[in-house]
Amino acid sequence: MRRKRAAWPLLLLPLALAGCATPETRLRSGLAEAGLSEPMAACMADRMVDRLSLTQLRRLASLGSLKNGRVADLTLDQFLHKVRALKDPEILAVSTSSAAICALG
């Protein structure tokens, strides 16, 4: 009986780890769908996922639904204009710093 109980944490670990990856993946996809390049979206999502709440991450990821069908990549200025429209100072601060750090390499 004790062995079965000891095995539960090992069985639940992969599920817990999978749950941690979901917000970053969703945010990365949302940023890319909003028009940011894949490398920029990946870099920014990696930084922002640890600095914003799940609700804030969902709001950012929803920017992907605002893309107006242009083929060209969104400039950082255009992206930050969209973020500013969310009217959340913390999202704006984290997005701005992440964009700057990721743009500089």
Asked, for residue 50, whether it belongs to a domain, the answer is yes
Q: What is the pLDDT of residue 7?
A: 56
Sequence-ordered list of residues with C-beta below 8 angstroms from that of 101, at least 6 positions apart, any chain: 43, 47
pLDDT tens digits along 50-63: 999 999 988 888 87
Q: What is the pLDDT of residues 20-58, one digit of tens each?
A: 557 899 889 888 888 888 999 999 999 999 999 999 988
Of 41, 45, 65, residue with least CA distance to 56: 45
Whole-angstrom distance, CA of residue 45 vs CA of residue 48: 5
Judge residue 35's burial from the number of C-beta atoms within 10 Å of its C-beta, 0-12 exposed, 13-18 middle, 19 or more buried. buried
Q: Examine residue 96 and state whether it is found in any structural domain, yes or no.
A: yes
Model confidence, pTM: 0.70
pLDDT of residue 71: 39
In a domain, 16, yes or no: no
The tally of domains found in the chain comes to: 1
- Cα-to-chain-centroid distance, residue 69: 21
Structural domain of residue 47, as residue ranges?
A: 23-104
